[in-house]
Chain A
Amino acid sequence: MRPDQAINLNPIADFLHAPVAIDVAGASPSNRPLLTRGLGCRVLDEGRQLCVFVSQPRSKALLDTLQIGSRIAAVFCLPSTEQAIQIKGLINDIRPLTAAEQETLSACQHGFAAAIACLGYSAEFSANYRYAADCVSLIITPHDIYEQTPGPLAGSRLIRPVS
């Protein structure tokens, strides 16, 4: 992937900003997949960047491996419908949350708790499921977007990179 292959996330920003479940994966130098749970996200830079929040204590192996330019994949799934999208890209930065991002994280957590409350899960369950202690922001430059809703079309590309 080259930097000029970056794509714009604006067409799917509303979906990403909905109360989605998020799972994020990278890989070790020996190609062992490393998985963690995302706790919220925000489209940045007019759709050219994506910020995903993860908890450091829960993501140690992944964070120890990631560096600028590392490949990363993240799935975003609406619990109520199981509609899902996968974004693949490169790590552009890993940094502490800004004050604004901290507010965004809180909003994401509340939104997700409300969304799964409709499915019968308590606020305490949601707080455990998306444990948000000591978070960092993964700044991702997206390069591919895939359909990930369960079914035969899962894995098909939704938006092709700009060549």
Chain B
Amino acid sequence: MSPTLEALRPCFEGAIPAALATCATDGTPNVAYLSQVQYVDATHLALTFQFFNKTRANILANPHASLCVTDPFTATSYRLAIRYLRTETAGPLFEVMRAKLSGIAAHTGMTEVFRLLGADIYQVLDIELLVGPTPLPAPPRPKLLPLLRRATAQLNRCVDLDSLLGATLNTLTEDFGIAHVMLLLHDETRACLYTVASSGYDVAGIGSEIALGHGVIGIAARERTAIRIAHMTQEYGYGKAVREQMERIGLTGQLETAIPMPGIAESRSQMAIPVLWAQRLLGVIYVESPEDLAFGYDEEDALTVLADHLAASMQVLAGAESCLDADVAIDSPPPPVPQDSLLQVRHFPRDHSVFVDDLYLIKGVAGAILWHLLRCHQETGRSQFSNRELRLQAELGLPEIADNLETRLVLLKRRLDERQCGIRLKKTGRGQFGLQVDNRLSLDDAS
């Protein structure tokens, strides 16, 4: 029985160059080495099209080719009979291969040489296992199915978005053993992603933003596809992506750059998995490592399943929160506020940015919510609020997206927790939350 293409996926990580033979119409063969072979599905592969060369001319005239690949762990080699079908020059597969090629190019010192012109799609006609000595043992790998089962069970126990994001972060770090993780949610109105949770970084970076299409996260989000890079690349790093945003006229100011994006300086492996529900982008799971080849196809599969489960859970919880919003929050007496210290809060209505004691805190919808809560608190002494009443506040500018309020409350709560500025949000029940202010407030609406 022929091996399946799935079984060959370790061969496609780029450790051992693959050899590709093509044939001209006059019968002259040609051999080329490939920088990348991309698994597409059970019967298709994609190869990089980088230069107009003999291989290119041959496959356009004669679509049959022979490909030899080797497992970098077991040394098992395979010969595949493949047939060229078409070239894609845009879209998810192209972007996956372009990102991966960028990493390979940087790894081999050929950043200026390797530019992807297209992803050549081939149908796999036959797979031949090449005879040889006993394969070497494959390195031990964690069994991903039990990890996934444990992870989805953790997510299933969550009753609100905040705990759901916490559980996702926890299972990725504790169960999957990934040291550097970021969870980002999608702001559809501003075409960006903002960080709501992170682990393994010096600063959590809650509220930091990245635009769709920028860096590995932005491209995974824009293309709705997982992007995995096995070698360090500057092209897809955060720092560069954010700098480019700043430099672009018209984008400056649209994205929040006052909060630095978390990230490790020497990220050698990166993987961004979109969180999708019915093809709607809810967010991105991002993981990275200072080691080369830290994540393989199997990890990509596992985190994609986890992301799908996270998306479904987010939808269910958003629906439940909306249904169970309390009509009116029952207030309780506010805790005594120390009278000897004053917290200065300034609000700029143009973008709803909020500064606490002259330090930037947050802006946008989350900023508008905070300003509304603080004003109510100061004017009426209230400290208990409901999601429903916030939904009815037109001044908050909530887009008509069911889960937007919930996600913004989570962002605001986590940002306040991170800043420790004397203001906190605490969930007090289904659709209800409490505002805790440790000092007297001085509110300044800088309109």
Q: How far is the CA of A58 from the CA of B19 in the complex (A)?
A: 15
Whether the pair B110, A151 counts as a contact (CB closer than 8 A) is yes
- Which of B75-83, B251-259, B434-442 is near enough to bind chain A? B75-83
User: Which one of A25, A58, A154 lies within 8 Å of B131 (CB-CB)?
Assistant: A58
Which A72-129 residues have a C-beta within 8 angstroms of B? 72-75, 77, 82, 84, 86, 88, 122, 124-129
B393 in contact (CB, < 8 A): no
**A-chain residues with CB within 8 Å of residue B66 when the two chains form the complex:** 25, 32-35
| Contact string against B for A residues 24-40, beta-carbon threshold 8 Å, 1 for contact and 0 otherwise | 11110001111111000
**B-chain residues with CB within 8 Å of residue A151 when the two chains form the complex:** 51, 110, 113
**A-chain residues with CB within 8 Å of residue B338 when the two chains form the complex:** none
**B-chain residues with CB within 8 Å of residue A37 when the two chains form the complex:** 19, 68, 77, 130
Contacts A27-B23, A31-B27, A128-B132; A154 near B64 (Cβ below 8 A) = no
Whether the pair B81, A32 counts as a contact (CB closer than 8 A) is yes
Whether the pair A23, B31 counts as a contact (CB closer than 8 A) is yes
Q: Tell me how far the C-beta of A81 lies from the nearest C-beta in chain B, rounded to whole angstroms.
A: 10
A148 in contact (CB, < 8 A): yes
Whether the pair B53, A155 counts as a contact (CB closer than 8 A) is yes
Identify the closest chain A residue to B20 (Cβ).
A35
**A-chain residues with CB within 8 Å of residue B114 when the two chains form the complex:** 150
Whether the pair B33, A77 counts as a contact (CB closer than 8 A) is yes
Whether the pair A71, B27 counts as a contact (CB closer than 8 A) is yes
Whether the pair B77, A129 counts as a contact (CB closer than 8 A) is yes
Q: Tell me how far the C-beta of B127 lies from the nearest C-beta in chain A, rounded to whole angstroms.
A: 13
Q: How far is the CA of A75 from the CA of B30 in the complex (A)?
A: 9
Whether the pair A58, B23 counts as a contact (CB closer than 8 A) is no
Q: How far is the CA of A21 from the CA of B67 in the complex (A)?
A: 15
**B-chain residues with CB within 8 Å of residue A15 when the two chains form the complex:** none
**B-chain residues with CB within 8 Å of residue A129 when the two chains form the complex:** 16, 70, 75, 77
Whether the pair A71, B29 counts as a contact (CB closer than 8 A) is yes
Contacts A33-B23, A35-B66, A35-B79; A131 near B133 (Cβ below 8 A) = yes
Interface range for B: 35 or more
Contacts A27-B23, A124-B75; A82 near B108 (Cβ below 8 A) = yes
Contacts A72-B29, A154-B32; A128 near B23 (Cβ below 8 A) = no
Q: Tell me how far the C-beta of A35 lies from the nearest C-beta in chain B, rounded to whole angstroms.
A: 4
**B-chain residues with CB within 8 Å of residue A31 when the two chains form the complex:** 23-25, 27, 62, 64
B54 in contact (CB, < 8 A): yes
Contacts A32-B81, A131-B131; A148 near B33 (Cβ below 8 A) = yes
Whether the pair B29, A23 counts as a contact (CB closer than 8 A) is no
Which A1-39 residues have a C-beta within 8 angstroms of B? 21, 23-27, 31-37
Which B206-245 residues have a C-beta within 8 angstroms of A? none
**B-chain residues with CB within 8 Å of residue A72 when the two chains form the complex:** 29
User: Which one of B31, B70, B75 lies within 8 Å of A25 (CB-CB)?
Assistant: B31
Q: Tell me how far the C-beta of B75 lies from the nearest C-beta in chain A, rounded to whole angstroms.
A: 3
Which A46-67 residues have a C-beta within 8 angstroms of B? 57-58
| Contact string against B for A residues 133-163, beta-carbon threshold 8 Å, 1 for contact and 0 otherwise | 1000000000000101011101100000000
Identify the closest chain A residue to B59 (Cβ).
A33
**B-chain residues with CB within 8 Å of residue A131 when the two chains form the complex:** 130-133
Q: Tell me how far the C-beta of B13 lies from the nearest C-beta in chain A, rounded to whole angstroms.
A: 14
New A-B contacts (7) at CB < 8 Å, excluding given A23-B31, A129-B77, A154-B32: A33-B64, A36-B68, A73-B21, A88-B28, A131-B131, A150-B113, A150-B114
Give 30 CB contacts A-B under 8 Å. Answer: A24-B31, A25-B31, A33-B22, A33-B65, A34-B66, A35-B20, A35-B68, A36-B68, A36-B79, A37-B77, A37-B130, A58-B130, A73-B29, A73-B31, A75-B32, A82-B17, A86-B30, A88-B28, A124-B136, A125-B75, A128-B74, A128-B76, A128-B133, A128-B135, A128-B136, A129-B77, A131-B130, A154-B32, A155-B51, A155-B55
